[in-house]
Amino acid sequence: MVKKSASRILCKFCAAHAEFVDFKNVKVLRRYINLDGKIQPRRYSGNCVKHQRMLASAIKKARIAALVPFVRDAVL
Amino acid sequence: MTAKSPDLASSYEILFILAGSLRDSETKKELEKWEDELSKFAKILKKANWGRRELAYKITGETTGTYFVAHFEANGAQIAEFDNSLRLDPKVIRHLIAKTPKNYEWVEYSGEDLEHDFTKLESVIAAKEEKNAKKGFGKKVFVRKGIVKKVERRVEKKADSGVINKKLDDILADL
């Protein structure tokens, strides 16, 4: 088996000791959305399970509030 | 699950959007009205008015909306009624009432934090092209048809609407 590289991607929310993810914080949410408006999976963002779940629900709330698009095409 | 006693309040968060096509005087009236309604049964801890902002997508033909956010404490049973009355008002184009997460702290957001960056797409595409060129894939990046043009148009439109809004404000100030 190939050994995992030494440089591990760590959860940025854990590093910041975040206890929750705010859906109003568009600046943070945008970092975890790709060009199509999809939520970035955990294997790319390096988030822990707990924070990824919080982030996903925050993004979904932000979508309802029209802060973040559901689909990129709909932006325009 | 045990039933909560009726006087046990929990903490909630509300966000609602008033139609951007409303007049300033009208939006002010509406905001005051809803704030009064909310404070009838809830204890408002924090509130903020984000002003008129661009929506991420069109809602009932509107491209802009006035945002109001508040953090409050109330009983769940009373919220249902308020929720329904918000839904029935055509001037409120979208609303969201959610329980606050554990250890929630209110944060004030400035307009810059909330701004959509429509120019971002171009920079992302440019970065991808560079990456591809380095790997020797060739320069072409697949982007959905027409998106870039649409982004350009949107940016132009935004600039235009800024000018128009300023002109309108000047006219209204004269009256």
pLDDT tens-digit map of A20-74: 899 998 888 888 888 788 999 988 888 899 999 999 999 999 999 999 888 875 4
pLDDT the model gives residue A74: 44
Q: What residues does B43 pair with on adjacent strands?
A: B73
Range from A8-12, B42-46, B119-123, B126-130 carrying the lowest mean pLDDT? B119-123
Chain A residue numbers touching B15 (CB-CB < 8 A): 24, 65
Residue A76 reports pLDDT greater than 50:
no
Residue B124 reports pLDDT greater than 50:
yes
Which chain B residue is nearest to residue A27, measuring alpha carbons?
B113
Structural contact between residues B17 and B67, judged by C-beta atoms closer than 8 angstroms:
yes
CB-based contact B147 A73, cutoff 8 Å: yes
Residue B96 reports pLDDT greater than 90:
yes
Does the CB of B106 have a partner CB in chain A at under 8 Å? no
CATH code assigned at A55: 4.10.640.10
- Model pTM above 0.80: no
Residue B133 reports pLDDT greater than 60:
yes
Who's near A25: CB < 8 A, 6+ residues apart?
A: A58, B107, B109, B113
Q: How confident is the model at residue B147 (pLDDT cuts 50, 70, 90)?
A: low
Residue A12 reports pLDDT greater than 60:
yes
Does the CB of B134 have a partner CB in chain A at under 8 Å? no
Write out the residue range of the structural domain in which residue A62 sits.
12-75
Residue B53 reports pLDDT greater than 60:
yes
Residue A16 counted as domain residue: yes
- Chain A: give the shortest CA distance to residue B101, in Å: 6
| Residue boundaries of the structural domains of chain B | 10-113, 117-174
Residue B49 reports pLDDT greater than 70:
yes
| Counts for chain B of helices (H) and strands (E), in that order | 5, 4
Structural contact between residues A66 and B56, judged by C-beta atoms closer than 8 angstroms:
yes
B10-19 sheet: strands from edge to edge: B43-59, B62-74, B10-19, B92-99
Residue B106 reports pLDDT greater than 70:
yes
For a pLDDT cut of 90, what percent of chain A falls above it?
Answer: 29
More confident call, B56 vs B135:
B56
Residue A6 counted as domain residue: no
More confident call, B37 vs A9:
B37
Residue A3 counted as domain residue: no
Structure tokens that stand for B127 in this block:
């970065």
Residue A37 counted as domain residue: yes
Structure tokens that stand for B66 in this block:
């006035």
Does the CB of A25 have a partner CB in chain B at under 8 Å? yes
Chain A residue numbers touching B55 (CB-CB < 8 A): 66
Superfamily for the B10-113 domain: Ribosomal protein S6/Translation elongation factor EF1B (3.30.70.60)
Which chain A residue is nearest to residue B97, measuring alpha carbons?
A61
If one counts the domains in chain A, the total is 1
- Chain B: give the shortest CA distance to residue A76, in Å: 6
Structural contact between residues A25 and B107, judged by C-beta atoms closer than 8 angstroms:
yes
Structure tokens that stand for B46 in this block:
């924090």
Structure tokens that stand for B59 in this block:
């809602």
pLDDT the model gives residue B30: 92
- Chain B: give the shortest CA distance to residue A58, in Å: 10
Mean pLDDT for the stretch of residues B6-23? 86
Does the CB of B59 have a partner CB in chain A at under 8 Å? yes
Does the CB of B48 have a partner CB in chain A at under 8 Å? no
Structural contact between residues A59 and A40, judged by C-beta atoms closer than 8 angstroms:
no
Mean pLDDT for the stretch of residues B16-21? 92
pLDDT the model gives residue B148: 65
ipTM for the predicted complex? 0.78
Q: How confident is the model at residue B94 (pLDDT cuts 50, 70, 90)?
A: very high
Mean pLDDT for the stretch of residues B133-145? 64
Q: DSSP for B79-146? A: HHHHHHHHHH-TTEEEEEEEEPPTT-------HHHH---TTHHHHHHHHHHHHHHHHTS-S-----TT
d(CA A37, CA B42): 35
Residue A33 counted as domain residue: yes
- Average pLDDT of chain B? 80
pLDDT the model gives residue A75: 40
Mean pLDDT for the stretch of residues B16-20? 93
Give the 3-state DSSP-derived string for chain A, with helices as H, strands as E and coil as C: CCCCCCCCCCCHHHHCCCCCCCCCCHHHHHHCECCCCCECCHHHHCCCHHHHHHHHHHHHHHHHCCCCCCCHHHHC
